[in-house]
Amino acid sequence: MMSPERRTRGRTSRSRLQALDVYLCRAEAELLGRQEGPWSEAAFIDVGFGEHPWTTLESAEAFRALNPTLSVTGVEADAGRAAAAAASHEEARTHFRHGGFDWASGAGERARLVRAMNILRQYRPEDVEAAHAELGRALLPGGLLVEGSTDTQGGITVAYLLRRGPEALEREALLFHTDFGQGFAPLLFRDWLPRDWRRHVRPGEALHGFFTAWTEAWSEAREQGAREPRDSFRESARGLARAWPGVSTEPWLLENGYLRWQPAGGVPRPSR
């Protein structure tokens, strides 16, 4: 079990996770809105919300447009931050508490969505697998764990989408998003990869092949006239999808700066 006792700066910012909210409201509307049986009480859990619960509250508002009675709980390893958030923002269906990756407080507590963004950067790569298992343990079957990193303002995001399957947590997809604030090249994402992949994109690794293919597709798109960041992103994603299995070409994703890679056997792990 991971200790929730470590003290970190808790840096966060308003709208930092908005691109994820927008993605989830579109791609996971059914998951967010389900009400049958245990789903009626299944919460959205935001683990490690930081110094202020801004992103938790923003997501609560976005998700409640699809599910007005959704329970939302922010969990923090820092007891002072949890108490301050509870004192200012606790409501009938919005709660904050001190806790860690094993966030479920009772045997019956269940979640539909667990988010842990910008947390594991502070951990060791070898801790990631156990952290995922703990974070996802109390998801209902079909529930989703979103874990990854963004830059400080949320202009660049890379996140794992991990789904609770019949046996275990499945490494369903890797989601990339940019708001084009820094222009666009595939390598922009490398510094924001999830903790286990960061600094492990080396020749011979699956993600190295992925980024090489994406960069080639990007160069080709630019040579063919796609010079604006949005155009080179969209056209490079289409080129990548032709070369690399599992890349979604859904127009809404590509028009809005999202690339979802969903390989058939699950997102590979780096070799060590």
Which residue ranges make up the site for ligand SAM (CB under 6 A)? Answer: 2, 4, 6, 8, 10-12, 16-17, 47-50, 55, 75-78, 81, 100-101, 117-119
Which distant-in-sequence residues (6+ apart) come within 8 Å of 201 by Cβ? 190, 193, 207, 208, 211
- How many helices (H) and strands (E) are present in the chain, helices listed first? 8, 8
| Residue 205: CB minimum distance to ligand SAM, A | 26
Q: Residue 14 or 26: which CB sits closer to ligand SAM?
A: 14
What is the smallest separation between the CB atom of 39 and ligand SAM, expressed in angstroms?
25
Q: What is the DSSP string of 161-219?
A: EEEE-SSSEEEEEEEEEE-SBTB--GGGGGGGS-TTTTT---TTSHHHHHHHHHHHHHH
Of 114 and 119, CB closest to ligand SAM:
119
Q: Where are the beta strands (DSSP E) in the chain?
A: 43-47, 72-76, 94-98, 111-117, 139-150, 156-164, 169-178, 258-261
- CA-to-CA distance for 124 and 177, rounded, in angstroms? 24
Nearer to ligand SAM, 31 or 117 (CB): 117
Nearest residue (CB) to ligand SAM, 47 versus 207: 47
**Which residue, 240, 193, 247, 199, is CA-closest to 218?**
240
- 111 or 217: CB nearest ligand SAM: 111
**Strand pairing class (43-47; 111-117):** parallel
Least spacing, CB of residue 78 vs ligand SAM, in Å: 4
Q: Which is nearer to ligand SAM, 32 or 117 (CB)?
A: 117
Closest approach of ligand SAM to the CB of residue 197, in Å:
18
| 3 state DSSP class of 145 | strand
For 216, 231, 243, the CA distances from 238, given in Å and listed in that order, are: 12, 11, 9
Provide the minimum distance between the beta carbon of 100 and ligand SAM in the complex, in angstroms, as a whole number: 4
Residue 45: CB minimum distance to ligand SAM, A = 10
